[in-house]
Amino acid sequence: MADETESDGHVKEGRRERKRRQTRERIEAAALSLFLARGFDGTTIEDITEAADVSKRSFFDYFPSKEEVVFAWQDSFADELTDAVAAQPEEASTVEVIEAAVNAALNAAISDPKHLAIAALIHDTPVLRARDQLKYAKLQEKLAHALYARSRGGDAERFRLGLLSAAVVGMLRMGGERWSEMRQDISLREFAGRMFDELWTALADLGELVRPRGGVR
């Protein structure tokens, strides 16, 4: 039977899609619980499938590896970030949009205590820490696309927002490393505010350095 349409225009989740989503969530929840209890290296795929009550084949239908289970939650951060960019008021400046969107995504992430525990797991597991760097390229691309969708500029604006997105995502990467290493005794929101202050100051200082030379050639 075809999916029905709700009154607000959204398509209802069909039974098959709901069952697949629930199975994926069960695998993910079982795996993350085991990783946090036993460590990543101390958990096998067989441990995960037994805890989630699924076959090994079913596991690979949803995740190509153990690593991908850990990083699945990070996709939700990128989605939260881009959704928050789109939700900002039309009259908001680019800086206001970025700060509000990052804070919204961070608040959504830390609303589940497991997210911070997973971040610590990644930081403390070499194979995960190496793989973790790949997420930033995807995050940068999504942020740039979301910012450009709000603009009315052409290719020059797309390039400018791409550069800005690279700077913001670089700040998130370095900030995440600093947070993990220093175990900050402040809220994540306050820490993010300080990182933004450093980013905007650094960009402004660079602008001042370039301006006497007549700009970038």
Quick: pLDDT tens for 16-58. 888 998 999 999 999 989 998 999 999 999 999 999 999 999 9
The pLDDT score that the predictor gives to residue 12 is: 64
Question: What are the tens digits of pLDDT across the range 171-189?
Answer: 998 988 887 777 667 887 8
Highest mean pLDDT out of 6-15, 61-70, 108-117:
61-70
Cα 79 to Cα 143: distance, rounded to the nearest angstrom? 9
Give the C-alpha separation, 177 to 162, whole Å: 23
56 versus 15: the higher-pLDDT residue is 56
CATH number of the domain located at residue range(s) 11-64 in this protein: 1.10.10.60
- Residue bearing tokens 């980013």: 199
CATH class of 65-213: mainly alpha
Residues 6+ apart with CB under 8 A from 213: none
CA dist., res. 2 & res. 18, Å (int)? 14
Q: Which percentage of the chain shows pLDDT scores above 90?
A: 48
pLDDT tens digits along 131-160 = 777 788 889 999 999 999 999 889 999 999
- Structural domain boundaries in the chain: 11-64, 65-213
Give 130-163 as a DSSP string: HHHTTHHHHHHHHHHHHHHHH----HHHHHHHHH
pTM: 0.74
